[in-house]
Each structure stands twice: as structure tokens, then as C-alpha cells.
Amino acid sequence: MRVLVTGARGQLGLDLVAACAAAGDEVVAVAHADLDITSRSDVLGAVTSVAPDVVINCAAWTAVDACESDPDRALAANGTAVRWLAEACHRARVHLVQVSTDYVFDGTLDRPYHEWDDTDPQSVYGLTKLIGEQEALALGPDATVVRTSWVCGVHGANMVKTIMRLAAERDSLAFVADQVGHPTFTHDLAPALRRIALDRISGVVHATNQTPCSWFQFAQLVVQAMGRDPEMVAPISTAELQPPRPAPRPANSVLDNAVLRMAGFAPLRDFREPLAETVRALLAG
């Protein structure tokens, strides 16, 4: 399989390139410096010249709070850029896999969200990612939207690294206990994305590691994996966060991986396994 990976130097992109290469794929990896996906002509040129079997788009502007103050940039990166990718893929008869997010939901449901639940984003980031989903699927069935959540890995900036840094600097930490989701690790998600692309599953798919937790519980597990006392982490409510975050977060980000389950995919691991592996790798340098 010949794969074009956009956003290839981000935390997910790096692991996706490695997973595809390990499986024997021919991988063309492009970062923002190589391809500006907000440029229609550049995207059309890249897809035409590379002639991939599949494009997996890991590129996005994921600075959730910054998106609130620059909605035009967020729309360009997360929304209209996907239109250009979808258009180019449609012309070249290439399958598109678009990575999306739990932020397309409002987080008020009292059960895990499945792929058919109504979306209702509460932030600019969530809205622009939803627009990207719609653009990916607008030109027919030759596209997959893969929603995931709470993404972490050994590359890039993420909550595991933030918690580890804070735990090294402070004697006590506080994390919200009223936001719940599925932490998802890139070295598990990447092979799943590749298989979804290989199987050309169409429509919306949820793909996360298993077992829900709150950010408070997650922080405790990270601290414990560092060899520190998890009791140094205290629970607080979202309302107690100071200063308040510009962008609202969904209280419930738990995604039911119903489509993959029905398609016969084995569930991704309990998140605690890749969490421990990630902390060990980061501690080892």
C-alpha cells in the first residue's frame, strides 16, 4: 500500500509513519514545511504527484484554547483544508482517512457516544473539526472519519508529558475529576488507522484505547508509573480550575468503538498498558 501521511511530524503522524513502514507500506510523509494543506493547489499537486492508495490526514490545529481566539485559522486548518484533501482524493480515486475528535460532542450524554449520536460541538476547535468531518464525507463513500480522544504518546506535547513535568516540579497537583474520557496512545492508534485505511471502512468510526477514566485518575496513574505517590494528586471540579479555560471541554468524552467492534476488529488495549510503556520510555530519555 502506498500511503501519503499529512501532519507526519506530529505525535500521531510520527507513530503512523513508523507503523506503516513496519508493515511494508511505501510511505510518503509530509509535514507543514513540505505541504500547506490549506492551499488547494498545493494539495491537488501533492496528491496527483504522489499517487497514493490512501491519504491519512493527521494534520490539524489542535491548540484548543488558541482556536477560540482565532477561528479563521482554525477553520482553514481543520475544516477547509479537509475539503481540498477530499476533492483531490476524489479526483484521483484515493481513499481518505480523516482523524477527528471527541470535541464534536457536547459531553452531556450519560453513556458512551457511538458513531450515530448527534454532534453538538461547544468550542471553535470542535466546530471546525466537525466541519472537517463533513468535508471528508461530502464527496462519497471513499472516506473514513476516525474520531479519537485524549491522544498521548512519546512524541510532541501531551498530558502525559505535562503531568510528568509538573510532578517533577511540585509536591502536589490538582486535576479535574468531572471530565471523563478514553485516553488513547499513538503507538496503539497508529496501527489501527493503518488497518482502517487498508480495509477501506467508510463513514464515521470511533477508535480509542479502552477503559474510561477522569483526568484526576489519569494523573494519578502517570505519577504512580513515575514511582511517585499518587496521593500527591488531588481532585477538583472543572468550575474550580484557575484560570478558567477559554474553550469548554466535554464532561463526557467516552467514545464507544461500535463500528470497529461490529466490523470484527479487536478492541485496542486498556489504556493503562500503553500509559505505563509511555512513561517508561519518557523516563529512559
In this prediction, residue 35 carries a pLDDT of 95
Crossing angle of helices 11-22 and 186-199, in 10° steps, is 60
Distance CA 83, CA 189 (A): 24
Q: Is-catalytic flag, 125?
A: yes
Whether 285 shows a pLDDT value over 90: the answer reads no
Counted domains in the chain = 1
Residue 57 in domain: yes
pLDDT tens column, 235-248: 999 999 888 899 99
Q: Can you say whether residue 66 is alpha, beta or left, with left for phi > 0 and alpha for psi between -120 and 50 degrees?
A: alpha
Q: Which of 61, 113, 125, 175 is catalytic?
A: 125
Percent of the chain surpassing pLDDT 70: 100
- pTM beyond 0.85: the answer is yes
Distance CA 181, CA 251 (A): 8
pLDDT tens column, 96-149: 999 999 999 999 999 999 999 999 999 999 999 999 999 999 988 899 999 999
Three-class HEC string of 4-63: EEECCCCHHHHHHHHHHHHCCCEEEEECCCCCCCCCHHHHHHHHHHHCCCEEEECCCCCC
Q: What is the mean pLDDT of residues 229-236?
A: 97
Q: What's the domain range around 21?
A: 2-157+183-210+253-269
- For the domain that residue 34 is a member of, what is the CATH number? 3.40.50.720
In this prediction, residue 242 carries a pLDDT of 84
In this prediction, residue 283 carries a pLDDT of 96
Residue 136 in domain: yes
